[in-house]
Structure 1
Amino acid sequence: MQPSIREHPFDHKNDAEKLRKAMKGFGTDEDTLIDIITKRTNIQRQQIAQIYKGLYNKDLYQEIKSEVSGKLEKVLLALLTPPDVYDAQCLNDAIKGLGTNESILIEILCSRTPQQIIRIKEAYKRIYGRDLERDVAGDTSGDLEKILLALCRSQRDYSNRVDGNKAQQDAQRLFKAGINKWGTDEGLFVDIFTSQNPSQLNATMQEYQRLTHQDIETSINSEMGGKFKKAFLTLIECLRYPASYFAKRLHESIQGFGTKDEDLIRIIVSRSEVDLAQIRQDFRRIYNKCLETFIKDDTSGDYEKILLALVVGN
């Protein structure tokens, strides 16, 4: 079994020197870039970049940007970017320009913790001089806007406290607001699912199933629609089985006509130090085929090398 990136020996000065040697002169040693950067944590990469600046008075990010191109460049630069900054950049890319990529907004905001979202908002403000909440509000509408803004406000209780009586009461409220009501009170669903901690919500969902004899996902599928339904189901799956959610997102990015490289890169990079090993296991369980095989079938060259190094090394 290959060691995780945290188990590789680390000498940031030696790494900086190797990276410099790989890029100076005629031609670039992409294998060295891939080998070093994929075997370090994001914090270690920041340390390498800092000492690189001190040794050579050059910005490592800009040096790599000038040496490689295409999809390999995208992955390497993403790996050199702090996670909160990278998420902020991905959200900005989803919002700017003609049309909004709601799928990326849903993926990031529904899967990050309140603490992570606070840091993302700070990075977004620092980089773009704008408020993330205001930009999300300006590019979404209706119930989708409500749930995304509620998540942006990061007011979820993130303790592990479970109140059984409250779980029963909330299950009853959700029942009355959904399948036991003409029309659905989406606001109540949003309030409960964006304010309470995951353990409490799992208890509420268990009580809901006991009360209604169907899981909450079945109710949402029958009562809600469009992007709001997609966001709600994403939020619930990320509360229950985040690795399975991202395994499915990876499959979506690879299957069909053409690979959705932006999605593939974003998911693998952003989960590489979180749960990529579990995502890999869930991918095999769900699709009866290993993630590495899918990547080999749909990518090539140095781009394939770096994605496989991240997937297999976790």
Structure 2
Amino acid sequence: MAAPGGPSAEEFDADRDCHFIKEVLEGIERKGSFNEVQDAAKVDRTLSLVRVFSKRSADQRAVIVRRYNSLHDKYLAVEIKEKVEPGPLQNCLLTLLRPSAINDAVWLHAAIAGLGTDEGVLIEILCMRTPQELVDIQAEYKSMFKRELMNDVMGEFNALSQLRELLIGLLGMPRKTTPADPEAAHQLAEKLHKAGKGLFANTKKFVTVFTHESHDMLKAAFQKFKELYGLSMESFLDRELKLHSRLAQGLKFIASCAESRYGMYADLIHDALNSSPPNIAGVERSMLCRLDTDMAHIKEQYLKKYDVSILDAIKIRISDPTLRKVLVHAIHESEDSNPYH
């Protein structure tokens, strides 16, 4: 069954999909760069792989992956890497093939591995995923890399880092599931205001509250905070945690998700598209990984917040014609409803 909000195929036939995918892959000629392929028909034919994958649910794509290996004695991901040039099309296809938890594990490992740490990616993924998604990510990370994600994250930061404490808290501290309570929300709002005032903010209090309280309680507390102090939680964090900018960024991600997870993803897509040049990796993380869950809601929020559709934003901001087509097909905005065309 397709995931809620995800694409479905009324007459799903894994064998038919696998044979079509094999036919397309065998017809691709690698010529240094995908954009150097001059045959427009071949370009569109290759893009049909994106249409096939994006119009199948995550469960159906998993069936395709297993069936392809059975029919052709070759892993589909390996064949895509061999036949499709590295770049936006290959990245899109591989992202669509993998479950979201595996994608997140891969992106987190890339953010940690090698010299330096991409703190922005760690914050984006760990602060925006649900408790169950974080459990799944940690399991996939351990399965793929034979390491504990929490230990790897701990090793990337100074022991006194408050951002470290926030990320570890998200990975290890069980979040409450209690519903919103007006009186408790009022008390929590007052505690957060007190924690931020004074010469030195009580960052530990922020970390504990933001990693432990339920999202419903946080949302109610942030609403009460604005009623009491005339300031959004995001603005308060910016003002009071100037000396802890990365921690403030993570806390703001959590606050925004508690208030509107769909709106936060819309913001990430908007920021990625409107950076100079567009942050394609950010678009992939924020857009492709949500196709099977809440992309329809994210599209609605994007239009509401920015008065332009995601489709039009892609057309305006993405100059590369192939990448533009990849993203348009991936979010199901192609005028052609037949994935085999």
User: What is the TM-score when the length of structure 1 is the normalising length?
Assistant: 0.91
Report the Cα offset of residue 263 of structure 1: 1.1
Report the Cα offset of residue 300 of structure 1: 3.0
Report the Cα offset of residue 26 of structure 1: 6.1
| 2:50–2:92 contact (8 Å) kept in structure 1 | no
Report the Cα offset of residue 102 of structure 1: 1.1
Larger RCO: 1 or 2 (CA < 8 Å, sep 6+): 2
SS in 2 for 1:21: helix
| In 1, Cα distance between equivalents of 2:48 and 2:223 | 50
Report the Cα offset of residue 313 of structure 1: 4.7
Q: Deviations over 1:96-155 (max 9, x none)?
A: 122211111111111111111011111111111111111112223411111111111151
2:65 pairs with 1:49: yes
| In 1, Cα distance between equivalents of 2:6 and 2:28 | 33
Letter in 1 for 2:323: Y
Equivalent position of 2:105 in the other structure = 88
| In 1, Cα distance between equivalents of 2:157 and 2:136 | 22
2:270 pairs with 1:254: no
Counterparts of 1:230-249 in structure 2, within 5 Å, are 230-249=249-268
Report the Cα offset of residue 77 of structure 1: 0.5
Higher mean displacement: 8-17 or 228-237: 8-17
Report the Cα offset of residue 165 of structure 1: 3.1
| In 1, Cα distance between equivalents of 2:276 and 2:132 | 37
Report the Cα offset of residue 248 of structure 1: 2.0
| In 1, Cα distance between equivalents of 2:162 and 2:27 | 55
Structure 1 residues 25 and 309: CA distance shift in structure 2, 3 A: closer
Letter in 1 for 2:126: L
Equivalent position of 2:328 in the other structure = 308
| In 2, Cα distance between equivalents of 1:31 and 1:213 | 50
Q: Deviations over 1:152-196 (max 9, x none)?
A: 11511235x2333322322222222223x3321111111111111
Equivalent position of 1:133 in the other structure = 150
Letter in 1 for 2:12: F
Counterparts of 1:254-273 in structure 2, within 5 Å, are 254-273=273-292
| In 2, Cα distance between equivalents of 1:287 and 1:26 | 39
Name the count of aligned residue pairs: 310
Letter in 1 for 2:325: K
Equivalent position of 2:203 in the other structure = 186
Report the Cα offset of residue 25 of structure 1: 5.0
Equivalent position of 2:295 in the other structure = 276
| 1:115–1:154 contact (8 Å) kept in structure 2 | no
| In 1, Cα distance between equivalents of 2:27 and 2:332 | 31
| In 1, Cα distance between equivalents of 2:248 and 2:21 | 46
Counterparts of 1:144-223 in structure 2, within 5 Å, are 144-159=163-178, 161-179=179-197, 181-223=198-240
Report the Cα offset of residue 244 of structure 1: 2.0
Equivalent position of 1:118 in the other structure = 135
Which stretches in structure 2 are left out of the alignment for 5+ residues?
30-41, 335-341
| 1:4–1:313 contact (8 Å) kept in structure 2 | no
Q: Deviations over 1:56-115 (max 9, x none)?
A: 111111111111112100110111111111100001111112221111111111111111
Higher mean displacement: 23-32 or 145-154: 23-32
* Alignment RMSD: 2.1
| In 1, Cα distance between equivalents of 2:59 and 2:119 | 30
Equivalent position of 1:75 in the other structure = 92
Equivalent position of 2:54 in the other structure = 38
Which stretches in structure 1 are left out of the alignment for 5+ residues?
none
Equivalent position of 1:9 in the other structure = 11
| In 2, Cα distance between equivalents of 1:234 and 1:5 | 27
Higher mean displacement: 183-192 or 273-282: 273-282
SS in 2 for 1:241: helix
SS in 2 for 1:165: helix
| 1:5–1:313 contact (8 Å) kept in structure 2 | no
Equivalent position of 2:36 in the other structure = none
| In 2, Cα distance between equivalents of 1:151 and 1:166 | 22
Q: Give % identity.
A: 28
Report the Cα offset of residue 256 of structure 1: 4.1
| In 1, Cα distance between equivalents of 2:314 and 2:226 | 38
Equivalent position of 1:101 in the other structure = 118
User: What is the TM-score when the length of structure 2 is the normalising length?
Assistant: 0.84
